[in-house]
Homo-oligomer: A and B are copies of this chain.
């Protein structure tokens, strides 16, 4: 007899949404992705959107994580504080309607730097629960905002958000480097040269202006500028955030960013453990689902 759905897990982000029908075993039976992210929704749109999901996937409990629980989403779900694990997240879920559980994000309230995340915590804890990573690990989740997470004994004990992806997008869209960064970024000699520069420099902002100067002085080919600049940014990010003494980094990513960051870590002499973000998310939601039973 085929497995039947026990609940619906939704990774509800800023621009995209992934919906998974999940069996009691935690196995995904069906997955869909669309662009109905938080930015495409008004707060009042969610009840109808939830009804629509249930019509397509079944009248089942729904567990959702990510920006849906932010002040730009459906309801603002209070963050849980560091250190945290499945039990604390499950205790702090908020139900805006019956059998809809919004998983909270995590806040870092240390004096040296405030930080927040919503959604990435589920992937990290899921990767550990599914034995894709050890309980004490270092994690990198690249995106518009990269999350760098440290765990100990299966709990998240620290994290940092870097704006690497957003900085690249801002520089590409406006200002001095605009028009220079339109080529697709790929892992080639220009990216590697940027990486080497970003990993060793202590003046990121000067190296970024150096992209413009290099194109003007013809030491950087115009078609290489985007990959070189991306290498500088990613190299500086890896240098600042990765604890090279850890030796091993768990990279939760997909697509081009997975390739680029894997290259950056390898260049920095670190061993990369690649983890699929959908698989990690599903394992994380399942860990919380089990706590809710």
Contact = CB atoms under 8 A, between A and B. Distances in A.
A217 interface: yes
Contacts of A210: 113-115, 161
A160 interface: yes
Interface in A170-189: 170-171, 173-176
A202 interface: yes
A115 B209 contact: yes
B166 A206 contact: no
B206 A167 contact: no
Copies of this chain, whole number: 2
A173 B176 contact: no
Interface of A: 71, 79, 107-109, 112-116, 145, 148, 160-164, 166-167, 169-171, 173-176, 197, 201-210, 213-214, 216-217, 219-220, 236-237, 240-241
20 contacts: A71-B216, A79-B217, A108-B213, A112-B197, A113-B201, A114-B213, A115-B209, A145-B176, A161-B206, A161-B210, A162-B203, A162-B205, A163-B209, A167-B205, A169-B175, A202-B240, A203-B241, A205-B237, A205-B240, A206-B241
